[in-house]
Structure 1
Amino acid sequence: MSSYTCAVLTTSDKGSRGEREDTSGPALRQLLAEQGFTVAGHALVPDRIEEIRQAVLAWVDRDQIDLIVITGGTGLSPSDVTPEATRTLLDREIPGMAEAMRAASLLKTKNAMLSRGLVGTRGRSLIINLPGSRKAALENLEVLLPVLPHALEKIQGSTRDCQP
């Protein structure tokens, strides 16, 4: 089980206006809690770079939350700006994690190649972009679950050797 904190941010213009129910955010919070994470925050913001940045910065820089999961805004629509907002915050990208999610999704749908989601670090926090649909968000996060504890441990400075 994990002893890490997490927060889930949903980006959705329609959701922020009350025109669509957020189903991915609650599902992700439940999955993370089941994995032993302490859910320390959640929010729903419109697809706006500055609003996404402000939420993530508060959780990472002020609250020092270990894992930030952002659902939505990773596609090709003009309003999909989550990767652009995230990229400006990252100290380092972790392309292998994003590639693993896309590779696993590609086995289920050809549309997976259209995902622009990023994964990276800011300080001692891990930030993950996930698709906005509940099903895709859960499937993508499940790909990463086996490595999250080790990734967080290393990001936070552990010098313990990696095990195969």
Structure 2
Amino acid sequence: MAAQNSAALARIGIVTISDRASAGVYQDISGQAIIDTLNQYLSSPWQAEYRLIPDEQALIEQTLRELADDMGCCLIVTTGGTGPAKRDVTPEATEAVCDRMMPGFGELMRQQSLKFVPTAIISRQTAGLRGSCLIINLPGKPSAIRQCLDAVFPAVPYCIDLMDGPFLETNPAVISVFRPKPS
């Protein structure tokens, strides 16, 4: 098992990808929904590295690289740009910067979302690894953000452990995470 680095402050990237929110047409409530959810989940110290950017693939790729490589984020959670519209390019940007993809995350998020809306089948959420950073793409709707994070977050701390990242401790009254018992 990976060494536990409990003293490290976890840096987590929060990226809202929206042409209209980045232009000031409306407030970014999706990024705040991610921050609020992580504040409820995590009991260990963490710092949000927040970005609000338009749906431009090159800019999304640049932002993901900056957060993973320069800012040292162990986790990046994006919201927006996962639908079938022509400007929805978040999954393509994520795949372009990742070393390896983690398809189980997208599969589980769609399965969870289908319990609430039949249009979840057209969502293209994905996840992947860049170096020692896990990148997860979420949909843009705040209620769907929580539903998807509730589904996949139980695996996130252990995934970060396996990449020698910071030891993320959670509030068990809010979310139960899985870590194998030491043998």
* Aligned residue-pair number: 161
Pick from 138, 144, 148 the counterpart of residue 140 of structure 1: 148
Matches within 5 A, 1:82-93: 82-93=90-101
* Aligned alpha-carbon RMSD (Å): 2.0
Matches within 5 A, 1:50-129: 50-129=58-137
Q: Give the Cα–Cα distance (whole angstroms) in 2 for the partners of residues 111 and 40 of structure 1.
A: 30
Partner of 1:4: 10
- 1:39 deviates by 2.8
Normalised by the length of structure 1, the TM-score is 0.91
- 1:96 deviates by 0.9
Q: Give the Cα–Cα distance (whole angstroms) in 1 for the partners of residues 180 and 68 of structure 2.
A: 28
Pair member with larger Rg: 2
Letter in 1 for 2:26: R
| Contact kept? 2:109, 2:125, Cα under 8 Å | no
Q: Deviations over 1:90-117 (max 9, x none)?
A: 1111111111111111111111110111
Q: Give the Cα–Cα distance (whole angstroms) in 1 for the partners of residues 88 and 130 of structure 2.
A: 21
Partner of 2:170: none
| Contact kept? 1:33, 1:39, Cα under 8 Å | no
Q: Give the Cα–Cα distance (whole angstroms) in 1 for the partners of residues 153 and 11 of structure 2.
A: 14
Q: Deviations over 1:61-113 (max 9, x none)?
A: 11111000010000011110101111100111111111111111111111111
Pick from 17, 21, 24 the counterpart of residue 18 of structure 1: 24
SS of match in other structure, 2:144? helix
- 1:55 deviates by 1.1
- 1:3 deviates by 5.8
Letter in 2 for 1:46: P
1:29 aligned to 2:35?
Answer: yes
Q: Deviations over 1:10-65 (max 9, x none)?
A: 00000111112111101101211222261331010000001111111111011111
Letter in 2 for 1:155: M
| Contact kept? 1:120, 1:127, Cα under 8 Å | yes
Letter in 2 for 1:51: L
> Which runs of no fewer than 5 residues in structure 2 stay unpaired?
1-5, 166-178
Q: Give the Cα–Cα distance (whole angstroms) in 2 for the partners of residues 56 and 121 of structure 1.
A: 11
Q: Percent identity?
A: 37
| Contact kept? 1:5, 1:38, Cα under 8 Å | yes
Partner of 2:161: 153
